[in-house]
């Protein structure tokens, strides 16, 4: 039986920060010392591990997200997603640097071709938040970023392949890029007749809701392309009232909003948290879409949840939630033509 827990967001109202998203992005916390001080965590316990993890994959957390973390609670599910730990230095069998083997699917720098009808553009290698479990934490962005020099080659490759009907902006987080750059890509893609949709994979409207600004809404709503935004929210406490407002603006601009979560030990590996997440997403106009089984990336083994546990959790959700609020449990398997659903009754 799932016990619903009330999310903390209503209980902890947070002042809206009036800085622009660019200001908030550049003021992100990147120092382990500052993070521990801000969150009232004992440096004697946490600092050495945080420095070690930070050396492997830099700490980065923006202010609006930081404000949703409960100070003094090392088990806070939002903190666990961003706090570097010494465990990240452990090497474990089966946990590798490129778990999805993406490096073999890059015909032109910045363009990933894994699926027949979809192409993925890596608009930027930067993120607004560095998630410790990220499957791209070792990705060589410097060698694979889309450059203005390669733009013509990428566009002609997309024009020549009439099977492609959807382009995905990925990264990094594509919304770290300027609206000028993104809108110019959207315009060029809209000139290719067989492209119908632009999908944007992003965490930014959640971690810095101010990113949903007038200039973003303008190019999203004025394109002939159908706009789909796939958000990445793992825990209901990531959705506060500012996020809800930002997502409402995206929806009003005609953007279809979906969410994908990653199943993470100590963050969202209980049925009540996942059920709350689905309900809260729907309250914000977002459909839960995928629940990803953990990708075995080196440095993040401590987030791993077994497939049996993952199946059990989703079976519990099926017994409690309407079908449209139950995300599909999937895994990305290298060389498979799409996500692979996990058999819930295996």
The footprint of ligand SF4 (CB under 6 A) covers: 127, 129-131, 134, 136, 171-173, 203, 232
- Least Å distance between CB 130 and ligand SF4? 5
First to last CA, the chain: 22
DSSP states along 248-290: HHHHHTT-EEEEEEE--TTTT-SHHHHHHHHHHHHHTT-EEEE
- Least Å distance between CB 159 and ligand SF4? 28
Rank residues 46 and 133 by Cβ distance to ligand SF4 and give the closer one.
133
Q: What CA–CA distance (Å, rounded) separates 185 from 204?
A: 19
Report whether 194 contacts 162 (CB < 8 A): yes
DSSP states along 83-139: ---GGGG---TT-BS-TT-GGGG-SBTTEE--SSSEEEEE--S--SS--TT-TTTT-
- Least Å distance between CB 152 and ligand SF4? 27
Q: Which helix (H) or strand (E) holds 170?
A: strand 166-170
Q: What CA–CA distance (Å, rounded) separates 18 from 1?
A: 42
Q: Which tokens sit at 19?
A: 């800085």
Rank residues 35 and 271 by Cβ distance to ligand SF4 and give the closer one.
35
Rank residues 62 and 236 by Cβ distance to ligand SF4 and give the closer one.
62
- Least Å distance between CB 132 and ligand SF4? 8
Comparing CA positions, the residue from 143, 65, 55, 37 lying closest to residue 98 is 143
Rank residues 31 and 116 by Cβ distance to ligand SF4 and give the closer one.
31
CA angle 221, 222, 226 (to 5 degrees): 65
- Least Å distance between CB 312 and ligand SF4? 25
Rank residues 232 and 280 by Cβ distance to ligand SF4 and give the closer one.
232
- Least Å distance between CB 6 and ligand SF4? 27
- Least Å distance between CB 310 and ligand SF4? 18
Q: Find residue 198's DSSP bridge partners.
A: 167, 227
Rank residues 134 and 274 by Cβ distance to ligand SF4 and give the closer one.
134
Rank residues 192 and 327 by Cβ distance to ligand SF4 and give the closer one.
327
């Amino acid at each position: 039986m799932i016990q619903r827990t009330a999310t903390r967001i209503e209980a902890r109202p947070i002042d809206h920060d009036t800085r622009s998203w660019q200001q908030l992005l550049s003021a992100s916390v990147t120092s382990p010392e500052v993070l521990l001080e801000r969150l009232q965590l004992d440096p004697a316990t946490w600092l050495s591990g945080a420095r070690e993890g930070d050396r492997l994959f830099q700490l980065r957390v923006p202010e609006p997200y930081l404000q949703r973390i409960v100070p003094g609670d090392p088990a806070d599910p939002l903190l666990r997603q961003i706090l570097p730990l010494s465990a990240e230095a452990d090497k474990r069998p089966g946990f590798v640097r490129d778990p999805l083997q993406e490096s073999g699917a890059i015909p032109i720098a910045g363009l990933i071709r894994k699926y027949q009808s979809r192409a993925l553009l890596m608009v930027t290698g930067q993120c607004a938040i560095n998630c410790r479990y990220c499957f791209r934490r070792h990705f060589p962005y410097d060698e694979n970023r889309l450059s203005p020099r390669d733009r013509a080659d990428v566009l002609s490759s997309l024009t020549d392949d009439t099977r492609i009907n959807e382009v995905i902006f990925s990264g990094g987080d594509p919304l770290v890029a300027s609206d000028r750059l993104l809108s110019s890509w959207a315009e060029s893609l809209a000139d290719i007749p067989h492209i119908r949709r632009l999908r944007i994979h992003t965490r930014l409207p959640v971690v810095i809701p101010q990113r949903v600004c007038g200039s973003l809404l303008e190019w999203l709503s004025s394109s002939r392309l159908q706009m789909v935004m796939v958000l990445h929210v793992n825990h209901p406490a990531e959705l506060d009232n500012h996020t809800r407002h930002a997502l409402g603006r995206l929806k009003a601009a005609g953007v279809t909003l979906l969410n994908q979560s990653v199943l993470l030990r100590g963050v969202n590996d209980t049925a009540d948290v996942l059920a709350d997440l689905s309900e809260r997403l729907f309250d914000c106009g977002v459909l839960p879409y995928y629940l990803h089984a953990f990708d075995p990336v080196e440095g993040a083994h401590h987030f791993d949840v077994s497939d049996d546990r993952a199946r059990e959790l989703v079976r519990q959700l099926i017994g409690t939630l309407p079908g449209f609020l139950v995300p599909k449990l999937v895994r990305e398997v290298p060389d498979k033509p799409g996500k692979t659903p996990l058999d819930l009754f295996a």
